């Protein structure tokens, strides 16, 4: 538990540092767009390479991959339906944010502190399915509603997915792993160095986009979003934790996974699709806090 609390405290401090950097004009909020693109196209793919290039695949864990995809698809549909009456750009932003979880940056350090390497293995498999949602479905939803006359067909979908560097990286590394094709040591070592920058840069980015003044319309939209996101997570998570005929670590992975924060890549998406970056950053921080509180409660009540 000490590592769990320490990791959360460090995250808050780095986010706070990003906020101070913005307030003191060392960096402006517009500079965050460059930082967002750097994270999305360089440091995050490096983290994916390092995490999955040598993960041991077990047949019993492939269900977690499927569940990561199925849960994301259900949430994507729920988000589109629930926010259907909102303005097109608002609907796209909110529906884009509903599916997908922040596993690599938020969950891994906490999971390792609680369950060690065994927990990382389970959450890593869940993250494989989650990756197709975060870098596929969320990207498609955000892209579709961002354009005034966007066409979505087979060719358009393939084109958009192929432009998501993190998704392409996931597919490539995952495929090479299954084929047992090793990556060069120098390549992995280089990616490891770059990947170390991903977490602090992502948290700094959250701080740069952090705002404490929220419009009344934000309160309404945030409330609706949190109701959908965490309402689904709590109800479905409890049911699956109680009734799934799987081992305890498997059930904890699903339960905790459904209560994780929104994906960090949503900020780069907001930049790319010209959505409200302040809103996305604020919601990201709120979900981080709520996730920590809910996970802390679950661990203390069940472990």
Distance CA(42)–CA(198), nearest Å, equals 9
As a whole number of angstroms, the distance between CA 17 and CA 21 comes to: 6
Both tokens assigned to 199: 């977490």
Question: Rounded distance, CA 127 to CA 134, Å?
Answer: 10
pLDDT tens by residue, the chain, 303 residues: 555 567 667 878 888 899 899 999 898 878 888 888 888 889 888 888 887 787 777 777 789 989 999 999 999 999 999 999 888 889 999 999 999 998 876 777 677 777 877 787 888 889 888 988 988 899 889 988 887 555 556 676 677 667 778 878 888 988 898 888 889 999 999 999 998 888 788 888 878 877 776 777 778 899 999 999 999 999 999 999 999 888 899 999 999 999 999 987 788 888 888 898 888 888 888 898 888 889 888 877 776
Tokens of 229: 């996101």
Residue 96's closest CA among 293, 266, 220, 267? Answer: 266
Q: How far apart are CA 77 and CA 261, in angstroms?
A: 19
Return d(Cα 131, Cα 117) in angstroms, integer: 20
pLDDT score at 222: 92
């Amino acid at each position: 538990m000490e590592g769990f609390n320490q990791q959360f405290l460090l995250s808050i401090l780095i986010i706070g540092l990003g906020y101070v950097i913005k307030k003191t004009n060392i960096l402006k909020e517009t500079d965050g767009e460059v930082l967002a693109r750097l994270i999305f196209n360089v440091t995050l793919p490096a983290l994916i390479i390092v995490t999955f290039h040598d993960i041991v695949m077990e047949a019993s864990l492939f269900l977690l991959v499927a569940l990561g995809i199925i849960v994301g698809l259900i949430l994507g549909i729920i988000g589109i339906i629930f926010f259907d009456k909102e303005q097109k750009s608002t609907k796209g932003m909110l529906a884009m944010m509903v599916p997908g979880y922040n596993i690599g940056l938020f969950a891994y350090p906490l999971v390792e502190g609680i369950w060690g390497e065994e927990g990382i293995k389970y959450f890593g498999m869940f993250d494989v399915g989650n990756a197709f949602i975060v870098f596929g479905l969320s990207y498609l939803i955000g892209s579709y509603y961002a354009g005034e006359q966007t066409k979505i067909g087979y060719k358009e979908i393939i084109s958009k997915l192929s432009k998501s560097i993190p998704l392409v990286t996931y597919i490539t590394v995952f495929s090479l792993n299954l084929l047992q094709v090793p990556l060069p040591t120098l390549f992995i070592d280089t990616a490891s160095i770059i990947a170390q920058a991903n977490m602090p840069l992502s948290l700094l980015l959250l701080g740069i986009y952090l705002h404490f003044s929220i419009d009344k319309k934000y309160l309404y939209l945030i409330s609706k979003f949190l109701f959908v996101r965490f309402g689904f997570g709590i109800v479905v998570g409890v049911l699956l934790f109680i009734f799934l005929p799987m081992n305890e670590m498997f059930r904890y992975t699903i339960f905790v996974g459904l209560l994780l924060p929104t994906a960090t890549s949503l900020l780069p998406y907001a930049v790319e699709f010209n959505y409200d970056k302040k809103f996305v950053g604020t919601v990201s921080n709120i979900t981080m806090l709520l996730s920590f509180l809910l996970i802390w409660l679950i661990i203390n009540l069940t472990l």
